[in-house]
Amino acid sequence: MAHVTRQVEEAAARLNAGGLVAMPTETVYGLAARADLPEAVAQVFRMKGRPSTNPLIVHLSDASEATAWAADIPDIAKHLMQHFWPGPLTLVFQARPEVSRHITAGQDTVALRVPAHSLARQLIQAVGHALVAPSANRYMSVSPTTAEHVVTQFSGEDLLILDGGPSSVGLESTILSALPGDTLRLLRPGMLDLAAVEVIAGESVSDDVPDTIRVPGQHRRHYAPHTRLCGFSAADAGAWQQDLADSQIGWILCGSPIAPDGPAIQLGAEADAYARRFYDALYQLDARKLKRIWVERPPEGARWQAIRNRLERAITPPD
């Protein structure tokens, strides 16, 4: 434990000096900088290669800090914060006027989250300031769920990596907008159970995102590995069948018992376990420089919504 504390102290010192730290969270690793240091925030955009039009999530160590960022916290959001924070839920609020528009990408809303990972909470507490933290990958690349994934993204960069083991959720947080006078809206699905959110909120979550709410960064192609990714259903005959005998083709399976000659990762047919290992499967197979990766399409149903969403963005569109 003393070892961990020293690591956290070192990471906190790095952040306080304006540096960047790869911070483990329960969803994915974040590329963290102090939210109140403009040069450090600018360095986050630079290191990721991320356009300045794509806003950052502000990470807090406790819900009580939200009032320093949000101008108006509707009662429904207070219930959600009480129930789901710390945890994989990001809430988008009306921003206070003093919140840096570099963080919000010029918008008058701000995204807030309290991560549940103990090292993330210790780190934010040790720093004593909120941290911005986009996923610790280069722009349009796969989010990291282990310290090793971060190394493959940023080798050679001046970045301290705090190793907190594999992320327990494995997909990015669920993002909901909680704007005054509006219904709750789903801006990005995550592994949080929306049925449970609706019970706590006492109202339904809308899937509809009007033009007045911009959600930059949710590109059609995102989360993509270098290797071409194709989807298939084991129940349907198709081009995938010819590839079963090709040892240079990789497979990510969702429960079906097929046995290809190439490297195959069985993620199983249970959504939470699948989500935890999905990005790692992409990193593992991508490293093997295969001709193609076939991904078995997951079932319909709410538990698979976030996984289907990431797959839609990772699968190469047909020519």
3-state secondary structure of 95: strand
3-state secondary structure of 305: helix
Task: Indicate the DSSP class of residue 204.
Answer: P
- Of 30-69, binders to ligand TXA (CB under 6 A) are 30, 54-57
The DSSP string of 239-296 is GGGGGGG-TTEEEEESS-----SS-EEE--S-HHHHHHHHHHHHHHHHTTT-SEEEEE
CA gap 265, 295 in Å, rounded: 10
Closest CA to 89 of 201, 198, 222, 188: 188
3-state secondary structure of 66: helix
List the one residue from 135, 174, 177, 266 that touches Mg ion (CB under 5 A): 135
- Site map (CB under 5 A) of Mg ion, residues 152-191, x = contact: ----------------------------------------
Q: Which is nearer to Mg ion, 104 or 135 (CB)?
A: 135
- Of 202-231, binders to Mg ion (CB under 5 A) are none
List the one residue from 43, 61, 94, 104 that touches ligand TXA (CB under 6 A): 104
Given Mg ion, ligand TXA, none, residue 104, with its beta carbon under 5 to 8 Å by kind, binds: ligand TXA
- Of 154-173, binders to ligand TXA (CB under 6 A) are 172-173
List the one residue from 100, 206, 218, 256 that touches ligand TXA (CB under 6 A): 218
List the one residue from 19, 86, 164, 217 that touches ligand TXA (CB under 6 A): 217
Q: Which is nearer to ligand TXA, 166 or 216 (CB)?
A: 216
Q: Which is nearer to ligand TXA, 189 or 250 (CB)?
A: 189
Torsion of CA 150, 153, 155, 156, to 10 degrees: -120
Q: From residue 151, how far is each of 31, 56, 276 by CA, in Å? A: 12, 21, 19
Q: Which residues bind Mg ion (CB under 5 A)?
A: 135
Q: Which residues bind ligand TXA (CB under 6 A)?
A: 25, 27-28, 30, 54-57, 90, 92, 104, 107, 109-111, 113, 115, 133-135, 172-173, 175, 187, 215-218
